[in-house]
Structure formats: C-alpha cells, structure tokens
Chain A
Amino acid sequence: MSPHSTEIIPARPAPLRVGGLRAWVRRELFGSWVSALTTLALLGWALWALPGALDWLLWRAVWQADADACQAARGVGACWGVITEKHRLILLGRYPLEEQWRPVLATALLLALVIASGIRLFWTRWLVLAWVLVWAVVFTLMGGGVLGLAPVPTERWGGLPLTLMLTTLSIVLACPLAVLLALGRRSHMPAIRTLCAGFIELVRGVPLISVLFMASFLFPLFLPVGATPDVLVRVLLGIALFAAAYLAETVRAGLQSVPQGQLEAADSIGLGWWQTQRLVVLPQALGAVVPGLMNSFISIFKDSSLITIVSLYELTGSLGLALSGDPEWRPFMVEGYLFITAIYFVVCAAMSRYSLWVEQRHARGQAR
C-alpha cells in the first residue's frame, strides 16, 4: 500500500443511548481502569477515615462544659464542651457579661439589615432610612452612655459583632470611594488619572497588615496635635481605604464592559457627564461585575480577622483571648478553631450563593 493511499475509514457506529443509574455509575465511577482504581482507593480511604472522623466529631465527643471529661476524651473525641463553656467570650469578646444582650441585639439588627438589603422587595427609598436608623441604634446599643445604658468603651467591643460591624461599615465606606477612583482612573484628564492610578497601585502593592500598622501607629501622627480618634475608627478607615483600591479595579472592569454606544446615546439625549455616569454607565457596569464585587466583599470579611494583629479582638482574636489564658481549656484550641472556621465558612458560602443568584437574575435581564 502506498503511504498516500486515500482509503476511507468506515464510520464508527453512533454510540448507544445510555441512561439510568447503572450507566451513570459506569461512566462517572468506573469510566476506565484508572478511574475505577481511583474510585476504589477513595472509597477505601473514606471507609477508613469516616468512622474515625465521625467518632471524634460526634459519637465520642464531650458536649457538656466539663474539663475533666474533655481531658479524658482527648484524642478519641472532640471537646465541644469548650464551646459550651466559652461561647460567650468567643462570640462577644470582652464585652461586659451583664450587658451581653446589647451586642446580641445589635448583631441581630445588623444581620437583619444586611439580609433585607439583599432582597429585591426592600429596594426602596426606605432602605436608606433603615440603614441610618439601624446604625444609630447599633452604635447606641454597643457604646451606651445614653438612655440609661452603661457606657462600654470600644476597647471592650469584640467577637462576632465587631467582625460584622467592621465588614459592613468598611464596605459601605469603600464603595463610593471605589466608584470615584475607578471613574477617575478612566478620566481623560491626565492629572486626575495619574492620581487615581497612583493611589490604587500604591495601596494594592502593599499588604493589609502594613496598612493596619499604619492605621494604628501613624494615623495619630498625621492628625492635628491632640486629636487621637479611637483605634477602631482608625482601623476602619485603614480597611476602607484598602478595600476601596481593590473594589476600584473591579468597578473599572465593569466600566470597560459598557459599550461606547451607550455613552454616545446618553450624549445624544443631552445628558451631562455626571448624569451619564449615574443613569447609564454605572447601573450597567456594576451589574456586570456583581461576582467580582461579591468576591471582594468576601475578602474584606475574611481580612477583618487581621485586626487581631493590632490587638482588636474580633472573632479570631477573641478566640485566642478566651482560650490561651485558661490552662484548663487551652488544650482544646482545635475545637475552638473549628467553631469559628464554621462561622466564617457559613457566612462566606452564603455570600457566594447570593452572588450566584444575583448573577443568574442579571443574566436573565440581559437575555434577548
């Protein structure tokens, strides 16, 4: 046969239609030799690891706050008793014991506000009022000093309320700044463009920790002599500036996705620059980058744990505070970490689920 023969290879028969559980198992679990071996190996590993893990996590775990029982069960069962015993300290930090209803109520209000803001039904003018009102109530509750509430200095605030407050406030502060920075970076005016780009790149180039150190050591130096705002305010400002730089880049990506024709259309109906941005460009740009914005929000929530390093006891810090000073419960740090890990995980997962939902809604709006 010559090497260049053009013999036609007969077509393969069409694959059989397959469906049902058996075919699914065959395809997904035993597609090939390698696949089958992997499945068996993973199954074996699961069968070996799962009972042990469940034993430790649930069946043999100690649930009551009994340090001796925990000590006895060490190695075979988890000590959830440490959570039973210390949950107040872990969740609320150093907030005075007798006043604990105040941070609990504040957290509930804050959570309700955030959840309501995510639901379309509540997207009315009243929501703005609700934000102002709820924040006023939250600060009154946490700080006290009026209405017969005992004053509690901000150093004693901590735990989950602090984490949530810092995250929400820094997002709310960072968003408008981010939009301005993103618009500025795309401006036709070279000086404004350079200033915005410079700020964004400068802040994005350094770690958050150095910004936090700056907030805690340098901000007091930058302000007029004698004016030393609360460390919480300084840290909040630091996180907000840091977050704004990251959010600005996401917003910029959205701005780039708005077609030039939209701007020309806005011009043609005589809209000014600010009107164009507010009514035409930004709604489209922000809608297009919801996943990116949500990712940044999740990062801000996770990054709020770093303020532990500048001695503010949010969730991570208050866990250390609750356990490391107590020799009786100190050995059960792992359970404590699992507990706060679960909290972070649930909140982050909820945020990313929500982002998926918004994205799908947005896609529906875009479909033609």
Chain B
Amino acid sequence: MPAERPSPLIAARPAPPRARAGWSWHHPATRARVWQLLALLGVAVLLCWLVFNTQANMAARGIQSGWDFLGQTAGFDIGEQPIAYESSDPYWRAFLVGLLNTLRVALAGIVLCTLLGAAVGIGRFSRNLPVRALCRAYVEVFRNVPLLVQLLVWYLLLVEYLPDTTEAWTWGHSVFLSKSGLVLPFPQHGADGWHWSMPVLDGFAIEGGAALSPEFLAVLAGLTFYTAAFVAEAVRAGIASVPRGQIEAAQSIALGRWQTLRLVTGPQALRVMAPPLTNQYLNLTKNSSLAVAVGYPDLVSIANTSLNQTGRALECIAIVMAVYLTLSLATALLMGRLDRRDRARQQA
C-alpha cells in the first residue's frame, strides 16, 4: 500500500478579520489617512518654505512686490495694436494689447491649421500615389523640425527675401506682399456707411487696406504649418478608426468617394478626432508664446518687456500663466461640451 501522499491543497487562509473602526496601522483607511496627511503636510511645508525664501530674497534685494505697477505708465511702444494704445497708457492696457494679439494669431492659426491639416490628412487616403506620398512627406518634415526653427525661418524668408515695399508683389493691385508685410482690402466704416478700403501703392508706402506685419505672418505661418502636420495625423487616425465595413456598405449603396467621406466616414471620424484636435488647438495657443522670438508683441513678449522694466518678475509671470491656464480651461470646457452634445445626438 503506497504511503499516503500529503494533500497538494494548501489550507485556505482564514478570511480577513472584518475591518474594525479604530486606529490600527493595519487598517487600510488609517494608513490612507496618514499618508494623505503626510503628503498635504509636505506640500504645505514646501510652499511655506518657498514663500519664506521669496520674501527673504525680496527684502534682501530690495525688490518691490504688488500689483500697483499695472496702473503706472508703461512707456514703451507696441508695434501692433488691435485696440488704441499709446506709450503713455498704463501697463494693464499694454497687457490687454498683448492678450488680443495672442488671441488674434491663435484664432487665425486654429482656422488655417484645421483647413490645411484636414486636407493633408484626407490626402493620406488618396488613391493617387503621388498625393499620398506628398502628404506623408509634409507630415514627416513639419512634425520633426522644432517650431522655433520653423518660426525663425519664416521670419527670415519674410524680411530678407521679399521685395521692398516699392516693388511689392501684387495680385490684381488689391493684395500687396513685401518686406513690410501683407496688405489686404478691408471693409471699413466711414461717413457713407460700409465700404472696402482698397490698398494703393503711393510712392514709398502702401496706403489703405489692412496690413499684416511680417512678424504676425511669420508667427501665423509657423504655427499653421507646424500644427497642421499634427492635425493631419489626428484626421488620419480618425478616418482610419472607422471600420472598413462602413466604407464597403457605403460603396454597396453606390456612394461616391466624396459622398462616403461626407456622409459616412467623416461624421464617425469626427467623434474620434475631437479630443486630439482639442489638444492641438491648445498646443497652438500655447505655442503662440514663441512669438517673443521674432518680436511679435504677444502676451509673453509684453510681459517680458514689462518684467525687464519694472522687475516685477513674480507678477508678470503669474499674469502670463493665469491667462494661458484660463484659455486652456475655456477651450477644454468648450470642446468638452461640443463633444458631449455630439455624443448625445448620436445616441438619440
């Protein structure tokens, strides 16, 4: 008779004791409380230390602090002013001009990069090989070169290689492009109601119309071409996420390629595309801060000038950060709402 082998079963562990209310270290809730308390305490100590150091440093270096400087005269000129501004205006108005300049270039950039990005992204699915290759090359090149380098190159091309104002390139004598920027016809409100203000080359300058400075154009071109490469990838991923069966179904009811894109693939792809597109819009807005490198007077550039003049580093950087945080939150909120509405509609 063979020896009885020990049973391979390991005895079950007893059920854990019911968690008792109390302050035992073995109680997960207690441990969680202790860890959280320690973390909060650590952060609080760190913050206190930073504030204490800052105050000590400010006292030692005689740095003033406070927001009173916003009411003082700024005393510097700004190249581009969406609203009236004089160098005798206070700092807060200079910051406002900077903010408007940031918004101006960001909004224009968002519109343009969406158009270009969508075109390139859709082009990746073209049945024509050269078109596919071209779109792919576009994405590879513009994505892999730092935005700052692209900005500087655009600026260099605009200010070095374009003709002088007197020999500006022109299309139909209504659009002028030269070293001093792009001049377009612009609707204007005059004594006799709305009319188009047409640019005219008058001697050494172009009069009338709306002028876009080379700085603005460089920032806009840089942001647009750079972000469009990322938008194109988001569009491509969105379209690729639509199941193949949907496209076959569209074909089976004899929809053309454009109809398929507009009616079947596009709407389904949009849902997938919304979050990455939001991210790209946010990135574009934040990247507009690089305008400081080519001297476009955006918020960061104005803050930088103010910082150098007043020495209020803490306040100026806080303003910049607060503005961008607000912009980010606002965009995220807006896109989140659109996304939710879109989802609700699809479920209806």
Interface, chain A (partner B; CB < 8 A): 27-29, 31-32, 34-35, 38-39, 42-43, 188-192, 195, 202, 204-210, 213-214, 217-218, 220-225, 298, 302-303, 305-306, 308-309, 316, 320, 331, 333-334, 337, 340-341, 344-345, 348-349, 352
Contacts and interface: CB of A to CB of B under 8 A. Distances in A.
Contacts of B170: none
Contacts, number: 154
A305 B146 contact: yes
Contacts of A191: 36-37, 39-40
Contacts of B140: 349
A206 B131 contact: no
Majority DSSP secondary structure for residues of B touching A: helix
A331 B159 CA distance: 12
Interface in B167-223: none
A194 B286 CA distance: 24
A207 B53 contact: no
Interface in B28-54: 32, 35-37, 39-40, 43, 50, 53-54
Contacts of B128: 28-29, 31, 34-35, 38-39
Q: Which of A28, A207, A320 has the most CB of B within 10 A?
A: A207
Contacts of A32: 127
B146 A333 contact: no
Nearest to B307: A217
Contacts of B32: 188-189
Contact of B324 (A188, A205, A218, A333): A205
A205 B325 contact: yes
22 contacts: A32-B127, A189-B35, A189-B39, A191-B40, A195-B39, A195-B40, A204-B328, A206-B321, A206-B325, A207-B289, A213-B304, A217-B317, A222-B53, A222-B54, A225-B57, A302-B147, A331-B160, A333-B160, A334-B156, A334-B157, A337-B152, A344-B146
Given A206-B321, A209-B289, A225-B56, A38 B145 contact: no
Contacts of B292: 209, 309
B152 A334 contact: no
Nearest to B134: A42
Interface in B5-46: 32, 35-37, 39-40, 43
B287 A207 contact: yes
A210 B289 contact: yes
Contacts of B83: none
A218 B314 contact: yes
Contacts of A42: 130-131, 134
B290 interface: yes
B88 to A, nearest CB: 27
Interface string B300-343: 10001001000001100100110011001100000000000000
Contact of B148 (A34, A305, A352): A305
Nearest to A223: B53
Q: Which of A208, A309, A344, A352 has the most CB of B within 10 A?
A: A309
A224 B157 CA distance: 46
A38 B135 CA distance: 13
Contacts of B57: 220-223, 225
